[in-house]
Amino acid sequence: MKRPIGVSLISYFYIFGAMVLLFTAVFYNAEANSISIAERFGLTIVPDRLMRLLVALISLGMVYGYIRLKKWGYWIMITYSVLFGIISLLLLSNQPYQPFIGNVIFSIIVLAYTICVKKEFFKTDFQH
């Protein structure tokens, strides 16, 4: 099956991000003055380490479907990009930190590219 290069690149970025989240879930202790991932989702009752682990596992599952050009991988990536783009945009309006600007831009790029290659995800199995 011929996979678009952009799908591979996006997948590798998400795999790297998930690995960083897994690593930080074990070895990183959030500072008192930083915003935890759980707080970004509005889930202040969830421990930050657990939230990092959950986001990493969801990301890896999503990337599996995305890199394999599965329909469900397409829809989860669209949903994930919109969700993280909106969360980063809302945080950007409250705290103009560079990582949130980068998250918004990356979410827009991933969303636009994924929509542009939609046909690759919706080919029948014998066309791959």
* Amino acid 48: pLDDT: 79
How many Cα atoms sit within 13 Å of 100 on the Cβ side?
A: 15
The whole-number mean pLDDT for each consecutive block of 10 residues of the chain, a chain of 128 residues, reads: 89 94 77 61 74 89 95 95 84 64 87 95 68
* Amino acid 65: pLDDT: 95
* Amino acid 123: pLDDT: 83
* Amino acid 120: pLDDT: 93
Alpha-carbon span 69 to 74, nearest angstrom? 7
* Amino acid 87: pLDDT: 80
First vs last Cα of the chain: how many Å apart? 5
* Amino acid 2: pLDDT: 84
* Amino acid 117: pLDDT: 95
* Amino acid 124: pLDDT: 62
What long-range pairs does 100-107 form, CB within 8 A, spacing at least 24?
Answer: 106/13, 107/81, 107/82
* Amino acid 40: pLDDT: 64
Alpha-carbon span 69 to 60, nearest angstrom? 14
